[in-house]
Structure formats: structure tokens, C-alpha cells
Amino acid sequence: MSKVRHVLGISGGKDSAALAIYMKNTYPELDIEYYTADTGKELDETYKLIDNLEVYLGKKIIRLAGAENSPELPFDHFLKMYGGFLPSSNSRWCTKKLKLEPFEKFVGNDPVISYVGIRGDEDREGYISKKNSIQSIFPFRRNIWSEDVISKVLSNNNISKISEIFETLPSNERTMRFKEILETPLSLSYNLHQKLNQLLDLNIKDFNKIVFTYIQFTDYPLATETSFPLLENEEVLVRADIFKILETSGVGVPEYYKEIAFEIAGKKGTYARSRSGCFFCFYQQKIEWVWLYEQHPNLFLKAMEYERDGYTWIQDEPLSELIQPERVQRIKEEYIKRTQRKNKSQSHYLLDILADAEGEGCASCFI
Ligand code: SF4
């Protein structure tokens, strides 16, 4: 097997940017290749973030692009190929052509560890390549391993193997309780996540050592490494930590995350954009479309120009209808109501309502 490559994809979003900063500072010994797959349709703030990050990292962020030799921007090139058919959550050709395929071409068949910025306060796995030669690691979570690794390690079939591995830990690190949990089979009343959480509650580092030793008997890319510094990782980073990392590093938080005040029918609210990605991304909430219309009218007009031959970004609502004054008013009023309900129930962060939308969509565009 060739040497393992360590890669980190910068989507242009805050989490992957913060992860790059975090990895540089926490694990300087890892030689990480940073890359970004450009659709050509990001907001200017995203390109600025990538430039700032490059300066901070002191390392080139490799620009990947689908349709490399085309005279058109990558998105437009493929849109033409698809006959003007706009992508949607059910038919997401954009991610495939503009993100995943360039990435898979970039890594080829090399064994790769790919660091992914899903946070400790998120419950999702994100895109992960189906290629066996690519292994994802999640440094912001207490469980740094991907779901496929965990389900193998904790499967009932592997209990005796994992127990044997446990016995190889130095004796002062072994506890009876840890062993008991490892040896408890999964069942209808005891699922994988319960077992995983109990083990992590007891000792994250021991758990990591067991997984790493198990991996040595597999063909995961990490099997070729004799050590891995993230085995010692016990940190869990949540949303507020991400903003702090971006601010204190000087890289900065992209402007579009900052809340802007608005007033409608005597009621006050604030709005922002919840994530990076193409300015016309169909994952946007209606309030984010209104934000685009009011804060970046030229981009909104460009998004409108893509709506042709019955294709629209939002199902059953062309953008020309969304910007009718009474519709804008209703979207804003509903958004204020939703924000108030949310604030009453739990959080004082207005942006959390937009954060709810973060989990949706495509990890390669938004993390
Ligand atoms: S940001 Fe949205 S539109 Fe752009 S590539 Fe990703 S999913 Fe597609």
C-alpha cells in the first residue's frame, strides 16, 4: 500500500475552516493536504475566507474544479450538460459533479484519511466517500470514528476479538466495567449508540486505542500507520467554539453569518445566511432567499435568471413570486414567529433557528 495521505476539504463554511485551524494548531505533526472544490458560484465572503485561511495555514489550499478545461464556470458547464435542469435535494447532480467527483479524482486510489468538521453538537454523519481507500475522521466529536468502523468494532460477531484487544491494554488502564460493557451484546433493548456512549463516558482514550488496534487487522487506510495522534483526542467542539476559533485566529467569520436587523409590520427580527455554498443553493430557507434578495440583489437576479423552462429552485414557487411584497412580508412574519417560539423553548441565540437547517444538505458543501 502506498503512504497514507491526510486530507481536509475546505467547503467554504465555518466548520471546515475552523477544523483546518484546529488541526494545524493541535496536530502540527500531521502533513495535511487542504483542498477546496469550487463551484464558481459561492458568495464573495466564502472566497475571502479561503484566502484568509490560506494565509493562516501558510500552505496552499488546492483548488479542485469539475470541468477543468471548460471555458465556463463549473456549475454552468454542467447545467448546460443537464439541459438546464436545476439541481434539487432529490436530484443533486451538482454535488456529485462539482464536489465528489473532483475529490475522488484528486485522491485517486491512494489510501486517505479525510478529516471532517462535523461538530460535537451535531447528529449527522455527512457525506462520506464510498471508496474503501478513504477513511473519515471527525476530530470535533468525542467519537472520532465513522459509523462503519463503529458498527464493525461493536458488532456482536467481534466481541471476542475486541475483548482480546482490551486485554492488551496496560493493566492499570483496564477496568472491569469497561470490559463488561465491551462484552455486552447488542440487542433490541441495547443499541449501538448506547454501547458506544457508555464506553466513551468511561474512557475515550482507551476506546480509541481499542479501535485503532482493531483497524490494524483490516484494510482501512489507518491500518498502515503505527501511531495516530488523534487517539489522545478528548475534546468536543460545539458551535460557539467554532466562532471563537475563527475570531481568535484572525481568519474571521464570514459576513453572511452575521445577523442583520429588519422590521416588518412593527415587529423586529434579524436574519442571516446559515451556511456557505452556491448563492442559489436550493437548500436555502425562504428567509435566506429574502436575505439574498435584500442584501445581494444582483445575486438574487442571477439566481432568477437560472429559472427557465419551468425549472425553479424552490418547488412550486418561482423566485419572481417569492419577492412579491406581500409574500416577503409573510415570510418575515412567519420567521419572527418561529424564532420567538424557539427562543421561548430553549435558546437565546437567534441564529440557532438557522442552525437547525445546517444539518440538512450536503456535507461537502456546507461543513
Ligand atoms: S451548495 Fe447547493 S447548489 Fe451548490 S453544489 Fe452544494 S448542494 Fe449544489
Query: Given pLDDT bands bounded at 50, 70 and 90, which one contains residue 129?
Result: low
pLDDT of 122 reads 84
For residues 335 and 260, the answer to whether their CB atoms sit within 8 Å is no
Helix (H) or strand (E) holding 47: helix 44-57
Site to probe by mutation for ligand 1, drawn from 92, 93, 312 as the one with most ligand atoms within 8 Å of Cβ, is: 92
Query: Given pLDDT bands bounded at 50, 70 and 90, which one contains residue 128?
Result: low
Q: Is the pLDDT of residue 351 over 60?
A: no
Query: Given pLDDT bands bounded at 50, 70 and 90, which one contains residue 358?
Result: very low
Q: Is the pLDDT of residue 136 over 90?
A: yes
CATH of 5-145+233-249, one of 3.30.9.10, 3.30.450.90, 3.20.20.70, 3.40.50.620: 3.40.50.620
Nearest CA owner, ligand 1 atom 1: 277
For residues 36 and 78, the answer to whether their CB atoms sit within 8 Å is no
pLDDT of 247 reads 96
- Give the ligand 1 atom nearest the CA of 364: 6
- List the single range of 240-254, 286-300, 346-360 with lowest mean pLDDT: 346-360
Helical axes 14-26 vs 239-249, angle rounded to 10°: 70
- Give the ligand 1 atom nearest the CA of 276: 1
Nearest CA owner, ligand 1 atom 2: 281
Site to probe by mutation for ligand 1, drawn from 38, 39, 279, 314 as the one with most ligand atoms within 8 Å of Cβ, is: 39
Site to probe by mutation for ligand 1, drawn from 275, 362, 364, 367 as the one with most ligand atoms within 8 Å of Cβ, is: 362
- Give the ligand 1 atom nearest the CA of 95: 5
Gyration radius of the chain over CA positions: 23
CB of 363 closer than 6 angstroms to any ligand 1 atom: no
CA 251, 247, 143, 179 torsion: positive or negative? positive
CB of 37 closer than 6 angstroms to any ligand 1 atom: no
CB of 283 closer than 6 angstroms to any ligand 1 atom: yes
Q: Where in the chain is CATH 3.40.50.620? A: 5-145+233-249
pLDDT of 366 reads 63
| Of 244 and 348, more confident | 244
CB of 87 closer than 6 angstroms to any ligand 1 atom: yes
Q: Is the pLDDT of residue 173 over 80?
A: no
DSSP at 35: E
- Taking the mean position of all CA atoms in its chain, how far away is CA 266? 37
pLDDT of 5 reads 97
For residues 41 and 75, the answer to whether their CB atoms sit within 8 Å is yes
Proportion of the chain above pLDDT 90, given as a percent: 76
pLDDT of 63 reads 93
- In the block, cell 454552468 appears at 76
CB of 364 closer than 6 angstroms to any ligand 1 atom: no
pLDDT of 185 reads 97
Q: Is the pLDDT of residue 161 over 70?
A: yes
Helix (H) or strand (E) holding 33: strand 32-37
pLDDT of 356 reads 46
pLDDT, tens digit (0-9, with 9 covering 90-100), for 208-261 = 999 999 999 999 999 999 999 999 999 999 999 999 999 999 999 998 998 999
Claim: this prediction has a pTM higher than 0.85:
yes
**Average confidence (pLDDT) over 155-173:** 89
Q: Residue 24 C-alpha to ligand 1 middle, in angstroms?
A: 27
pLDDT of 194 reads 97
Q: Which of 214, 225, 233, 216 is nearest to 166 (CA)?
A: 214
Phi-psi category of 84—alpha, beta or left, where left has phi over 0 and alpha has psi -120 to 50?
left
Q: Residue 95 C-alpha to ligand 1 middle, in angstroms?
A: 6
pLDDT, tens digit (0-9, with 9 covering 90-100), for 10-43 = 988 899 999 999 999 999 999 999 999 989 999 9
Q: Is the pLDDT of residue 357 over 80?
A: no
- List the single range of 124-128, 195-199, 313-317 with lowest mean pLDDT: 124-128
Q: Is the pLDDT of residue 355 over 60?
A: no
Q: Residue 65 C-alpha to ligand 1 middle, in angstroms?
A: 14
Read off the C-alpha cell for 63. Answer: 483548488
